[in-house]
Structure 1
Amino acid sequence: MAQDAFENIVADFEFLEDWEDRYRYVIDHGKAMEPLDDALKVPATKVEGCASQVWLHPKIEGGVFSFEGDSDAMIVRGLISVLRALYNDLPVAEVPKVDAPGELSRLGLNDHLSAQRSNGLRAMIERIRMVAAEAA
């Protein structure tokens, strides 16, 4: 069910054997992402439950879901980028059906993220699912 962009990340992770290289890859993905406009960094877009500052700005156009995001932590920006690869451009009704923990487990992220980062990742996934469910 995963998007092609996410499948590309999975393939890249399989090529990168060392976790340090994978960690750097996620950070580089976050660096390549456009920053969220400061005007969108408001309480309504802030994700609670994250150790760092995180904002997600969802958009639904023509029944298709996408979101922009940002964080003050580079690894979290990278995680946002990974989630964008998983969710962006899906029909909004399909977003809540994505098994994000299952898909992300293919990357082995949970084994290498701190408890706080894992909780923040779950909070971001829940926000995405909630927004899409409300719009569907």
Structure 2
Amino acid sequence: MAQAGFEDLVETFEFLDDWEERYRHVIELGKALPDMPEALKVPATKVEGCASQVWLHMTIEKGTLTFIGDSDAIIVRGLIAVLITLYSGLAIEEIGKVDVAGELARLGLNEHLSSQRSNGLRAMVARVVQTAAAAA
């Protein structure tokens, strides 16, 4: 169960013919991601396990998760945008029920990311799930 906006992203990816076009779209998502305020780029928001520098700042309001993120790598910014589309706005009880691997497979990301990017993506997902679990 993912956000409805994620379905729009899946449709866009299905429309794109090959991985290069999808990769460019992920980069465009990263470019469109609003900048994270520098004041939030602190050790507490930094995600360990990523080859690039990654920060995720999550808030839970009325039982709903929202977050922003940033990275020094544009493709990782795009992956953050994908995760925001996947998770942001879900009730914290729903976060752990999302089949992340299955949802990302629908975008064709699993087979096209380098092992470093995949590890970083797993680290970001783990941070989101841990934050939601701690708040539940």
- Name the TM tier (shorter chain): over 0.9
What does residue 133 of structure 2 align with? 133
CA-based RMSD? 0.6
1:31 and 1:59 map into 2 onto residues whose CA distance is: 23
Structure 2 Cα separation of the partners of residues 66 and 114 of structure 1: 27
Taking the aligned partners of 1:131 and 1:36, their CA distance within structure 2 comes to 19
Q: What SS does the aligned partner of 2:57 have?
A: strand
Specify the code of the residue in structure 2 equivalent to 1:11. E
In the TM superposition, 1:109-128 aligns within 5 A as 109-128=109-128
Q: TM-score by structure 1 length?
A: 0.98
Partner of 1:63 in structure 2? 63
Q: What is the distance in 2 between the residues matched to 1:125 and 1:62?
A: 21
Distance in 1 separating the partners of 2:38 and 2:44: 13
What is the aligned partner in structure 2 of residue 40 from structure 1? 40
User: SS in structure 2 opposite 1:109?
Assistant: coil
The CA distance in 2 between the partners of 1:74 and 1:3, in whole Å, is: 23
Partner of 2:94: 94
Runs of 4+ in structure 1 displaced over 3 angstroms?
Answer: none
Percent identical among aligned pairs is 65
> Could you report, residue by residue, the CA deviation over 1:16-73 in whole angstroms, capped at 9, with x for unpaired residues?
0111110010110111111110000000000000000000000101111011000000
Distance 1:119 1:125 in 2: 10
TM-score under structure 2 length normalisation? 0.98
Unmatched runs of 5 consecutive residues or more in structure 1: none
Query: What's 1:3 paired with?
Result: 3
Q: Which amino acid counterpart does residue 57 of structure 1 have in structure 2?
A: H
Matched positions, count: 136
| Distance in 2 (alpha carbons) for counterparts of 1:8 and 1:103 | 12
SS at match of 1:90: coil
In structure 1, give the amino acid aligned to 2:134. E
Q: Please, which runs of 5 or more residues in structure 2 have no aligned partner? A: none
